[in-house]
Amino acid sequence: KRVAILISGRGSNMTAILDAAKASNYPADIALVLANKPDAKGLETAADHGIATEVVDHRNYKGDRSAFDAQIQKKLEEHKIELVVLAGFMRILTAEFVGKWTDKMINIHPSLLPSFKGLNTHQRAIDTGCRLAGCSVHFVRADMDSGPIICQAAVPVLNDDTADSLAGRILKAEHKIYPRAVALVAGDKVLVDGMRVRIKDDGN
Ligand code: GRF
């Protein structure tokens, strides 16, 4: 399947996926990396991997979200994309755009959803006294961070954790589960049933 990865910054999740996609039997072909910021570090990494890149700068659409999304859609069509992977993509997409990619667009969020949707998830988990934090890969729906969950990883919160130290350990877990989740979805191993996701050929 032809996959586009959307980024806004360093793209460490993108890099983990690009590395996994080098395996000959990986069911996804990373055909495009698209950023909403021209200076997104991940664009260089993508170019180094020989991946096509595009920039759709949200500042050129001053608040007209549907025009911004329409330009992204145009680029995805030009590159014949079949699956969209949001990886550190920090823009809210319109319900109209999301609706075009139902069950064909996934995101990684740095919390154990449904807890801690939104931002500053690590500090919130620490402040709430959670013993476990983590990350979740989910299908994108119009409501932010609210789609059916594909996979998760739990990461213990340590006594002396700061948001940064916890974030560092969770990011490592993200780099493990996201490449696997992309392979499952690209390989059509994932069935969505309402909020429930079933993984074919898998015990759980
Ligand atoms: C990560 O914490 C990810 O969970 C969130 O954005 C952060 C940056 O990811 N979606 P990356 O290094 O740009 O992939």
Q: Provide ipTM, 2 decimals.
A: 0.91
How remote is the CA of residue 23 from the centroid of ligand 1, in Å?
Answer: 23
Verify whether residue 122 is a known catalytic residue: no
What are the b/e assignments for 63-96, b being 16+ CB within 10 Å?
eeeeebbebbbebbeebebbbbbbbbbebebbee
How remote is the CA of residue 137 from the centroid of ligand 1, in Å?
Answer: 12
Q: How far is CA 160 from the centre of its chain?
A: 29
pLDDT digits (tens, 9 = 90+) for 14-59: 999 999 999 999 999 999 999 999 999 999 999 999 999 999 999 9
Q: Which of 49, 58, 109, 138 is catalytic?
A: 109
Predicted confidence at residue 62, as pLDDT, reads 87
- Going by alpha carbons, the residue nearest to atom 12 of ligand 1 is 12
Query: Which residues touch 151 (CB under 8 Å, ≥6 apart)?
Result: 136, 137, 177, 180, 181, 184
- Going by alpha carbons, the residue nearest to atom 10 of ligand 1 is 88
Secondary element (H or E) of residue 47: helix 41-48
End-to-end CA distance of the chain: 25
